[in-house]
A and B are shown apart, each in its own frame.
Chain A
């Protein structure tokens, strides 16, 4: 588990000459100052950002405009029409209305778990690596162990032991956060290890700064892109896992999410009755949202790891030369 990063000799990624060359050939200007910290506006980022914004807005404002999601009507399983844009469920509830509320629920859980898991991983990853010695060994061992213990079975077993009435939104969120922080902690640890030996960190320590100040002022700002990317991962993980749990009927008892919708769709024989309008939209929203977040993450990765920018430049150059050759 400790040999994820391969030993590699200098590669195309280390060769920033490609970047310069590509800029010359494609006529792009180098960027300086603070703009270096912002992601490059690639098509991937634009698409990802649009998807995520659209779904978030739908989750926040959608519920204000749709009908009551729980109104039962005697028009079960009607296909999409003017009155019900996404058709109705088995009991005649409006699918679009349910979708809006469920999206809100899923985003909520994603956000809560994202924050909790990021806090946990920052604590174990950064603090351990900064303190070094025994604390680092112990924290690192702990995160590695948490990483190899399969998360979902653990969550299922824990949910099984918690009685239904106590299985609220926060319980589920905490359980998901506990099972989802370890991978991020490893990444943060690796980054902190390389930062803590930099000269300016050593200078701050020699100057007698307190540990929390060195971490908060000298180290944390440099870790922000990494933390942002890990946060995005945690949100994807949370939404997917919660959807899985809710689909099994083990989700939070006081909230409706996209997984809950799929649970009812499967138990309402939506598949057998070919009511695609009931079970396709919830999964599609999860998939699109996760895809949008991953696309954003690719762009954040380029800030963390400038080597990737060189790879992209290299690819661009190959493409440009290929075109020129034709």
Chain B
């Protein structure tokens, strides 16, 4: 079967699985959102009777007597219309609006940080792998320490050193609150200033994986015949490194991009929490803390869609740049 068709098919199945999982979770879990919210209401001294209960059930979209299949059909129809329900924690804002406000922050932060760490890691890995067995190479085990460091702990340490002690960069938030969000120079500069530390956290903790993978591929690529030929032709070392070795050794790194993306997104959720960054991760936690189930599910769905979409793009790109993948399938 055609490589591209097969990939598209796989991601359709994955998409369906994610949607269904999202539908199943609240129905399989022991807790009942309505009970949790009613208990909270009672704690605050509210009156709870059958009517309150009914209104909560209607608000949350649960508690219907419809058969599960028609609930599922309803759920899919609503999704197709982009209707994710109402976020009760910021009533009456629709979930899609809350997500829309937070998403650009996370996409910018995670996107730029991932790209930076990919380029830096692959670049350094190529240089280290170019000369295996030198002193540079002995630095490689140090990257395993970086990979094992919990994202959020690294974030805490960075905040402690750079913000609390040296007072170089702000530790909290996404921009200076006195400014008006918009496309003006002041605001953008402030956003960059506030985003530096979170981005640094992501770059430092994800760079090791890229470096190691690229270095190992580089070492095996260097013994290829075409490298020998290039040397024999008298090409400059820099040209062999960039045009002959790194180009081929980099392919698995691009394929590995897919898997690592999931980890980066997960890591950045906790990182956002440390920095109170106004992104999707902080919103997810607020939703959990406020028992805002519709918002939780909506955010999970958006994150999953983003990761699936990015993976799909990378897979397609891989099929274009490496013809061998197409030939094999």
Known: A148-B308, A294-B144. A248 touches B133 (CB 8 A): no
Inter-subunit contact B148/A290 (CB<8 Å): yes
Report Cα–Cα, A171/B17, bound state, in Å. 22
Distance of B236 from chain A, by nearest CB (Å): 21
Inter-subunit contact B144/A295 (CB<8 Å): yes
Give the segment of A11-19, A127-135, A190-198, A211-219 that binds chain B: A11-19
Known: A272-B164, A311-B216. A156 touches B288 (CB 8 A): yes
Inter-subunit contact B293/A148 (CB<8 Å): no
Contact string against B for A residues 284-299, beta-carbon threshold 8 Å, 1 for contact and 0 otherwise: 0011111101110010
Q: Which of A3, A5, A288 has the most CB of B within 10 A?
A: A3
Inter-subunit contact B13/A141 (CB<8 Å): yes
- Residue from the list A6, A158, A322 in contact with B251, Cβ < 8 A: A6
Q: Is B175 part of the contact surface with A, judged by Cβ < 8 Å?
A: no
Inter-subunit contact B133/A319 (CB<8 Å): yes
Q: Is B2 part of the contact surface with A, judged by Cβ < 8 Å?
A: no
Q: Which of B14, B29, B145, B266 has the most CB of A within 10 A?
A: B266
Inter-subunit contact B165/A149 (CB<8 Å): no
Q: Which residue of B lies closest to A236 (CB)?
A: B148
Give residues of chain B (282-329) contacting chain A, Cβ–Cβ below 8 Å: 284-285, 287-289, 291, 293, 296-297, 299-300, 303-304, 307-308, 311, 315, 318, 322, 324-325, 328-329
B61 neighbours in A (Cβ, 8 Å): none
Inter-subunit contact A161/B307 (CB<8 Å): no
B328 neighbours in A (Cβ, 8 Å): 7
Inter-subunit contact A163/B269 (CB<8 Å): no
Q: Is B156 part of the contact surface with A, judged by Cβ < 8 Å?
A: yes
Distance of A243 from chain B, by nearest CB (Å): 5
Inter-subunit contact A250/B303 (CB<8 Å): no
Distance of B305 from chain A, by nearest CB (Å): 10
Q: Is A151 part of the contact surface with B, judged by Cβ < 8 Å?
A: yes
Is chain A's interface secondary structure helix, strand, loop, or mixed overall?
helix
Inter-subunit contact B293/A291 (CB<8 Å): no
Inter-subunit contact A154/B160 (CB<8 Å): no
A259 neighbours in B (Cβ, 8 Å): 150
Contact string against A for B residues 2-43, beta-carbon threshold 8 Å, 1 for contact and 0 otherwise: 000000001101100110010001100111010010000000
Inter-subunit contact A12/B164 (CB<8 Å): no
Number of residues of chain B lying within 8 A (CB) of chain A:
82
A322 neighbours in B (Cβ, 8 Å): 133-134
- Residue from the list A152, A266, A288 in contact with B266, Cβ < 8 A: A152
Distance of A324 from chain B, by nearest CB (Å): 13
Q: Is A276 part of the contact surface with B, judged by Cβ < 8 Å?
A: yes
Report Cα–Cα, A116/B10, bound state, in Å. 27
Known: A11-B224, A144-B10, A247-B270. A316 touches B133 (CB 8 A): yes
Q: Is B256 part of the contact surface with A, judged by Cβ < 8 Å?
A: yes
Q: Is B94 part of the contact surface with A, judged by Cβ < 8 Å?
A: no
Report Cα–Cα, A35/B278, bound state, in Å. 55
Q: Is A86 part of the contact surface with B, judged by Cβ < 8 Å?
A: no
Q: Is A139 part of the contact surface with B, judged by Cβ < 8 Å?
A: no
Known: A6-B217, A287-B148. A149 touches B266 (CB 8 A): no
Distance of B31 from chain A, by nearest CB (Å): 4
A266 neighbours in B (Cβ, 8 Å): 156, 274
Inter-subunit contact A248/B285 (CB<8 Å): yes
B273 neighbours in A (Cβ, 8 Å): 247-248
Instruction: Give me the interface of A with B, judged by CB distance under 8 Å.
Output: 1-9, 11-13, 15, 44, 141, 144-145, 147-154, 156-163, 166, 183, 236, 240, 243-244, 247-250, 259, 262, 265-266, 271-272, 274, 276, 279-280, 282-283, 286-291, 293-295, 298, 311, 314-319, 322
13 extra A-B contacts, CB within 8 A, seeds A3-B315, A144-B10, A314-B132: A3-B322, A9-B225, A44-B141, A145-B13, A148-B311, A157-B297, A244-B267, A274-B165, A283-B153, A290-B147, A290-B149, A314-B223, A318-B132
12 A-B residue pairings within 8 Å (CB atoms): A7-B324, A148-B307, A152-B269, A154-B300, A158-B29, A161-B29, A162-B30, A236-B148, A271-B156, A311-B219, A311-B220, A315-B132
